[in-house]
Structure 1
Amino acid sequence: MNNPVEHKVNELVTWLREQVEQANVEGLLVGVSGGIDSAVVANLIKRAFPNQSLGVIMPCKSQGSDQKHAELVTNACGLSSIKVDLTETHDVMFQTIKNQLEADGTFDEDQEKLADANLRARLRMSTLYTIAANHKYLVVGTDNAAEWYTGYFTKYGDGGVDLVPLVHLPKGEVREMAAYLNVPDDIINKQPSAGLWEGQTDENEMGTSYNKIDAFLRGEEIPEKDRKIIEAMHKKSVHKRTLPPSPPQ
């Protein structure tokens, strides 16, 4: 087999099947956001389990284009899908917590945007596991190597999964795999965004680019400013990649 991307796809499909067999479950599901990473995972789980795979679309104060792109992904690869709108659930829960903190005099407005966004990610995680339990499926994550190294994911949110098939793939390789899998161009070419708020993009929020992070992970020289940002993000997010600390016995 001469195509390295095809070889990697086949490796991952085989690995996904092995994980399902070892876990003694029936199949796989993924939260489909409309981004390139979840699009690749959607294609992989469909290949691994054509009849026992599911894409879950979970709008939550989301932009209309995100839902449209998520549906485009599932339709393009023929993945069965279900939609659960979490907007009202999120708003009621966040407002209830906010009201209590305000009554307590401890609400911090500076933390509101991040807390709001992280609650969305954690509600999605809970939704995925509820559906997975119903189907006897494993939850498949979408984090790539750049996101994993920098900790660019929500702890117990999109980081709360059973399997992480893309965790060793730089963003550039994810794009190559997406092209091989015939992911629609609208998905491949869109600016990476977690959809946390209007106009939010991954690279603006991180302060560096995926190309720079990929180069750093390959051991290449990158500008000092970018290297410091990447190293700081990695150090700050160690707790996301490890089990909670425990005292010695």
Structure 2
Amino acid sequence: MLDNPQATKEALIQWIRDYFNQNGPSCSAVVGISGGKDSTIVAALCKEALGAERVVGVLMPNGIQSDIDDAKTVVNHLGISHIIVNIGAAYEALTNAIIQGEGYEVVTGRNDLSRDAAINTPPRLRMATLYAVGQNLPNGARVANTCNGSEDYVGYSTKYGDSAGDFSPLANLVVEEVRQIGRLLDIPKYLVDKTPSDGLS
């Protein structure tokens, strides 16, 4: 638990501001918005550090996302620009291209994706999407990593997926510390206390 969450919040905001001053003074922050606490809090911190006009939220459902309304609530509440990219078609196309690849069944001994590949491919598609969006913004962008320290410690993330990004505001905070920060930000309380899903599929 943080002894002084207010001081930590202010330090995180200044850290983000300093990072952008050094690595892209006119760039925007691109944040993948899932509707969970981590992405919500990172987006709110970026807004405090850079201003709403320099934060872009990207919502990336894979087909139908049951809590997509929470993600929409985040971007609307924060007043940040947002883009919705449904990765469902891209995921299906990539999956089919892989399993129909010449030699795939002979080499792998299967005609489908493994459970691990099926779980980890969507986060990697989402990260590719975030960078593609960022490279199309007028002044460029830096992509936020929204993983917290607890996820990094236990490996509850996807390599080159949600564990990627250019800057990682929550990397040194465990889950309850993230919630402490969230309670000090202008975001709906239920999003701070929301039970997490795996965030992968």
Same fold (TM over 0.5): yes
Deviation at 1:111, TM superposition (A): 6.0
Superposed counterparts of 1:210-225, under 5 Å: none
Q: Which residue of 1 aligns with 2:174?
A: 170
1:87 and 2:116 are equivalent in the alignment? no
CA deviations over 1:62-91 (Å, ceiling 9, x no partner): 5321x1111111112222211111100111
Identify, as 1 or 2, the structure richer in helix. Answer: 1
2:114 is paired with a residue of what secondary structure?
helix
Which is greater in Rg? Answer: 1
Amino acid at match of 1:86: I
For the residues of structure 2 that align with 1:142 and 1:62, how far apart are their CA atoms? Answer: 22
Contact 1:28 / 1:140 at 8 angstroms: preserved in 2?
Answer: yes
Q: Which residue of 2 aligns with 1:61?
A: 63
Contact 2:39 / 2:146 at 8 angstroms: preserved in 1?
Answer: yes
Q: Which residue of 2 aligns with 1:190?
A: 194
Q: Which residue of 1 aligns with 2:32?
A: 31
For the residues of structure 2 that align with 1:194 and 1:7, how far apart are their CA atoms? Answer: 30
Q: Specify whether residues 7 and 159 from structure 1 end up closer, same or farther in structure 2 by C-alpha distance, changes over 3 A only.
A: same
Contact 1:39 / 1:73 at 8 angstroms: preserved in 2?
Answer: yes
Deviation at 1:102, TM superposition (A): 5.2
Contact 2:33 / 2:59 at 8 angstroms: preserved in 1?
Answer: yes
1:74 and 2:72 are equivalent in the alignment? no
1:150 and 2:151 are equivalent in the alignment? no
Amino acid at match of 2:5: V
TM-score, normalized by length of structure 2?
Answer: 0.88
Task: Identify unmatched segments of 5+ residues in structure 1.
Answer: 198-249
Which deviates the most, 93-102 or 38-47? Answer: 93-102
Deviation at 1:109, TM superposition (A): 7.3
Contact 2:24 / 2:141 at 8 angstroms: preserved in 1?
Answer: no
For the residues of structure 1 that align with 2:122 and 2:44, how far apart are their CA atoms? Answer: 24
1:131 is paired with a residue of what secondary structure?
helix
2:80 is paired with a residue of what secondary structure?
coil
Contact 1:53 / 1:80 at 8 angstroms: preserved in 2?
Answer: yes
Cα root mean square deviation, aligned: 2.0
Task: Identify unmatched segments of 5+ residues in structure 2.
Answer: none
2:31 is paired with a residue of what secondary structure?
strand
Q: Which residue of 2 aligns with 1:181?
A: 185
Which deviates the most, 162-171 or 173-182? Answer: 173-182
Amino acid at match of 1:11: A
CA deviations over 1:83-108 (Å, ceiling 9, x no partner): 11110011111121022265436244
Q: Which residue of 1 aligns with 2:116?
A: 114
1:60 is paired with a residue of what secondary structure?
coil
1:134 and 2:136 are equivalent in the alignment? yes
For the residues of structure 2 that align with 1:60 and 1:104, how far apart are their CA atoms? Answer: 29
For the residues of structure 2 that align with 1:94 and 1:4, how far apart are their CA atoms? Answer: 47
1:29 is paired with a residue of what secondary structure?
strand
Structure of greater relative contact order (alpha carbons < 8 Å, 6+ residues apart): 2
Deviation at 1:196, TM superposition (A): 3.7
For the residues of structure 1 that align with 2:13 and 2:111, how far apart are their CA atoms? Answer: 45
Deviation at 1:110, TM superposition (A): 9.1
Contact 1:144 / 1:171 at 8 angstroms: preserved in 2?
Answer: yes
Runs of 4+ more than 4 Å apart = 107-111
Aligned pair count reads 194
Deviation at 1:160, TM superposition (A): 1.4
Identical aligned residues as a percent:
35
